[in-house]
């Protein structure tokens, strides 16, 4: 058989080594780039792009945002609270030293809205009165919570989505709510952020900013190895504030800076580590997704996770226990081998049916 790559995340590293290199994130009007052109120029080569003019006509843009006195679109949290106040949302404290269960809490959206309106007026600096916490409403599975509210339409560029279509099928079969949902809404004030990470299953992601400005730092895959510490396992939360003693090569990751305005979609390819900061109050929609263009990277990641799980089990019987190892892989990666095989089989059935229907 083929030789097994050596080292941590070796299968992913072997895939990354053959990806085309990229140092820029172009901005293109979505109406001037067809889905086929997007696939050829960006999706299949695994290169990022910022598409503008994507949310015109979206219900969420008209109902979740408003124009302020200066004409800028800003989140309309009062309206969102009126519409969705009872929805349970996950809220993260961005000032917590570690992103753990202790920094996360679930609350009704109307409670988050009360926090939002009680925030400190930062125009007066630290002397301003009000709630000084930086609370971020993240990973809200809105489409599941409100299936009869058509908030938006997935842009055609991102429509070939094996991941969410698989989980939609599972829910129809009654497998359960919230399992595998990868369609999210984010609501965060100025200064809230998402620490450095690569996306679940090394999937693609797209993020549409409905209002506000986001600042992204994106590390091309061929420089991601500079982010790790001596163990090869840990990465800094914030590249710009990394501990140089612990992460001596982090500056060599040379992230690309992307300033994302409202009414734009950023395509984040597989294996691009990234961190995001809301430069102003923001509300956005995000999907993780995979298809034929990046499924091999997801498979490589799962094989690496299995190798890591086995290496971390001291008892040889545990390391040889397939059920135990796969359950640990699922916990770490968001899916096990069986789920991934299901995703591929589901996609094959759908594509086969479409081909027969078109014949």
Q: Is 147 exposed, middle or buried (0-12, 13-18, 19+ CB in 10 A)?
A: exposed
Section 249-274 average pLDDT: 96
Query: Is residue 272 included in any domain, yes or no?
Result: yes
Percent of the chain with pLDDT over 90: 81
Query: Is residue 135 included in any domain, yes or no?
Result: yes
Give the confidence band of 96 by pLDDT, cuts at 50, 70, 90. confident
- Residue 89 phi, psi dihedral angles, 5° rounding: -125, 155
Section 33-55 average pLDDT: 97
- Directed axis angle between helix 77-84 and helix 109-117, to 10°? 160
Instruction: Evaluate if residue 5 carries a pLDDT over 50.
Output: no
| E-strand stretches of 141-225 | 183-188, 193-197, 204-211, 214-219
pLDDT the model gives residue 127: 58
Section 73-79 average pLDDT: 96
Query: Is residue 203 included in any domain, yes or no?
Result: yes
Q: Which domain holds residue 278?
A: 22-122+130-291
Give the confidence band of 176 by pLDDT, cuts at 50, 70, 90. low
pLDDT the model gives residue 177: 52
103 secondary structure, DSSP code: G
Question: CA–CA separation, 179 vs 101, rounded Å?
Answer: 19
Lowest mean pLDDT among 119-128, 132-141, 191-200, 320-329: 119-128
Section 198-209 average pLDDT: 95
Instruction: Evaluate if residue 232 carries a pLDDT over 90.
Output: no
More confident residue, 253 or 175: 253
Instruction: Evaluate if residue 322 carries a pLDDT over 50.
Output: yes
pLDDT the model gives residue 122: 61
Return the CATH number at 32.
2.60.120.650
Instruction: Evaluate if residue 171 carries a pLDDT over 80.
Output: yes
Query: Is residue 3 included in any domain, yes or no?
Result: no
Buried b (16+ CB within 10 A) or exposed e, 206-222: bbbbbbbbbebbbbbbe
Lowest mean pLDDT among 72-81, 174-183, 200-209, 309-318: 174-183
Give the confidence band of 1 by pLDDT, cuts at 50, 70, 90. very low
Section 189-200 average pLDDT: 94
Instruction: Evaluate if residue 121 carries a pLDDT over 80.
Output: no
Q: Which residues lie across from 65 on neighbouring strands?
A: 75
Question: CA–CA separation, 139 vs 158, rounded Å?
Answer: 19
> CA nearest 213: which of 265, 282, 284, 116?
282
Give, for 349, the enclosing helix (H) or strand (E). Answer: helix 337-358
Instruction: Evaluate if residue 109 carries a pLDDT over 90.
Output: yes
More confident residue, 6 or 318: 318
pLDDT in tens, 278-288: 999 999 999 99
Angle at 170 between CA 168 and CA 171, to 5 degrees: 65
Residue found under tokens 């349970």:
88
The total domain count for the chain is: 1
Give the confidence band of 4 by pLDDT, cuts at 50, 70, 90. very low
Percent of the chain with pLDDT over 70: 92
Query: Is residue 323 included in any domain, yes or no?
Result: no
pLDDT the model gives residue 124: 47
Instruction: Evaluate if residue 126 carries a pLDDT over 60.
Output: no
Section 246-262 average pLDDT: 95
**Sign (positive/negative) of CA torsion 171, 176, 178, 181?**
negative
Query: Is residue 329 included in any domain, yes or no?
Result: no
Question: CA–CA separation, 166 vs 184, rounded Å?
Answer: 16
pLDDT the model gives residue 128: 62
Query: Is residue 54 included in any domain, yes or no?
Result: yes
Query: Is residue 195 included in any domain, yes or no?
Result: yes
pLDDT the model gives residue 8: 67
Average confidence score pLDDT of the chain: 91
């Amino acid at each position: 058989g083929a030789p097994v790559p050596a080292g941590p995340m070796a299968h992913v590293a072997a895939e990354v080594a053959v990806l085309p290199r990229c140092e820029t994130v172009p901005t293109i009007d979505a109406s001037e780039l067809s889905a086929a052109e997007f696939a050829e120029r960006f999706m299949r080569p695994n290169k990022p792009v910022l598409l503008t003019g994507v949310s015109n006509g979206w219900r969420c843009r008209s109902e979740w945002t408003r124009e302020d006195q200066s004409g800028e679109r800003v989140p309309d949290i009062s309206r969102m609270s009126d519409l969705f106040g009872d929805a349970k949302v996950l809220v993260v404290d961005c000032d917590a030293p570690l992103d753990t269960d202790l920094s996360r809490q679930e609350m009704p959206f109307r409670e988050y809205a009360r926090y939002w309106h009680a925030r400190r007026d930062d125009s007066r600096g630290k002397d301003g009165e009000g709630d000084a916490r930086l609370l971020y409403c993240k990973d809200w599975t809105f489409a599941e919570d409100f299936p009869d509210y058509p908030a938006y339409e997935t842009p055609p560029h991102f429509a070939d989505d094996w991941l969410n279509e698989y989980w939609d099928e599972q829910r129809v079969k009654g497998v359960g709510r919230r399992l595998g949902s990868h369609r999210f809404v984010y609501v965060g004030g100025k200064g809230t952020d998402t620490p450095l990470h690569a996306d679940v299953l090394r999937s693609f992601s797209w993020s549409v900013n409905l209002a506000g400005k986001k600042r992204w730092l994106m590390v091309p895959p061929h420089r991601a190895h500079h982010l790790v510490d001596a163990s090869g396992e840990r990465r800094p939360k914030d590249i710009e504030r990394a501990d140089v003693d612990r992460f001596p090569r982090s500056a060599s990751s040379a992230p690309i800076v992307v300033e994302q305005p409202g009414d734009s979609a950023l395509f984040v390819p597989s294996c691009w580590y990234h961190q995001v900061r809301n430069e102003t109050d923001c509300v956005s929609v995000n999907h993780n997704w995979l298809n034929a263009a990046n499924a091999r990277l997801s498979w490589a990641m799962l094989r690496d996770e299995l190798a890591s799980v086995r290496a971390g089990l001291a008892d040889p019987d545990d390391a040889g226990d397939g059920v135990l190892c796969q359950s640990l892989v699922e916990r770490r990666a968001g899916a096990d081998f069986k789920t991934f095989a299901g995703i591929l089989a589901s996609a094959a059935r759908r594509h086969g049916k479409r081909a027969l229907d078109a014949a």
